[in-house]
Structure 1
Amino acid sequence: MTTAHPVPGETRPGGRTARTRQAVLAAVFEELGEGGFAELTMEKVAQRSGIHVATLYRRWRCIEGLVCALLTDLSDGVPLPDTGTLYGDLRAMARSLAAFYEEPRMRRLIEAVVSAAARHPQAATALRSFFEERLPLSGGMVERARERGEVPPGTDPVEVMSALGAPFYYRMLIVRRPVDTHLAESAATAVWAAARAGAYVKTDSGPVDETTDPPTPHAGATS
Structure 2
Amino acid sequence: MDAEGGEPGMVRPGGRTARVRDAVLRAAGDALAEHGFGGLDLADVARRAEVGKTTVYRRWSTPAGLVADLLAYMADQSVPRTDLGSLDQDLAANARLVVRTLTDPRQGALFTSVIAAATCDTRTAKALHRFYEVRVKEWAGCVEAAVERGELPAGTDASEVIRAVSAPLYYRLLTGGGALDEAAADRAAEAAAVAARAGVYVS
Higher helix fraction: Structure 1 or Structure 2? 2
- How far 1:68 sits from its partner (Å)? 4.0
Alignment of 1:102 onto 2:103: yes
Per the alignment, residue 17 of structure 2 pairs with: 17
Matching of residue 86 in structure 1 with residue 90 in structure 2: no
| Larger-gyration structure (1/2) | 1
Q: Specify whether residues 178 and 111 from structure 1 end up closer, same or farther in structure 2 by C-alpha distance, changes over 3 A only.
A: farther
The TM-score, its normalising length taken from structure 2, stands at 0.84
Q: Distance in 1 between matches of 2:178 and 2:195?
A: 25
Match of 1:8 in 2: none
Aligned letter for 1:53?
K
| Cα distance in 2 between the residues matched to 1:61 and 1:186 | 43
Q: Residue 64 in 1 paired to residue 52 in 2? A: no
Q: Percent identity?
A: 45
Mean Cα deviation higher: 158-167 or 62-71: 62-71
CA shift, 1:104, in A, is 2.3
- Any idea what the Cα deviations from partners look like across 1:38-93, whole Å, max 9, x if unmatched? 43211100111122233323333322332343344345333301000011100111
Q: Which amino acid aligns with 1:52?
A: G
Distance 1:57 1:164 in 2: 39
Secondary structure at the aligned position of 2:119 is classed as helix
Q: How far apart in 2 are the matches of 1:22 and 1:148?
A: 40
Residues 177-207 of structure 1: CA deviation (Å, up to 9, x unaligned): 65211111100110011111111110xxxxx
Paired with 1:161 and 1:61, the residues of 2 have a C-alpha distance of 35
Considering Cα pairs closer than 8 Å and 6+ residues apart, tell me whether 1 or 2 has the greater RCO: 2
Shift of the alpha carbon at 1:118? 1.4
CA separation in 2, counterparts of 1:128 and 1:80? 19
Segment of structure 1 superposing worse, 192-201 or 65-74: 65-74
The farther-off stretch of 18-27 and 74-83 is 74-83
Rounded to whole Å, the distance in 2 between the matches of 1:146 and 1:13 is: 38
Q: Report the AA paired with residue 65 of structure 2.
A: G
Runs of 4+ displaced beyond 6 Å? none
For residues 77 and 129 of structure 1, the distance between their equivalents in structure 2, rounded to whole angstroms, comes to 13
Q: Which amino acid aligns with 1:23?
A: A
Deviation at 1:136?
1.6
Q: Shift in Å at residue 148 of structure 1?
A: 0.3
Matches within 5 A, 1:1-223: 14-75=14-75, 76-175=77-176, 179-202=180-203
Residue 120 of structure 1 aligns with an amino acid whose one-letter code is D
> How far apart in 1 are the matches of 2:23 and 2:58?
16
Take 2:119 and 2:69, find their aligned partners in 1: how far apart are those partners? 17
- More deviation, 138-147/170-179: 170-179
The alpha carbon displacement at 1:120 in A equals: 1.4
- Residue 18 to residue 177, structure 1, CA distance change in 2 (3 Å): farther
Q: Measure, in 1, the Cα distance between the counterparts of 2:144 and 2:35.
A: 41
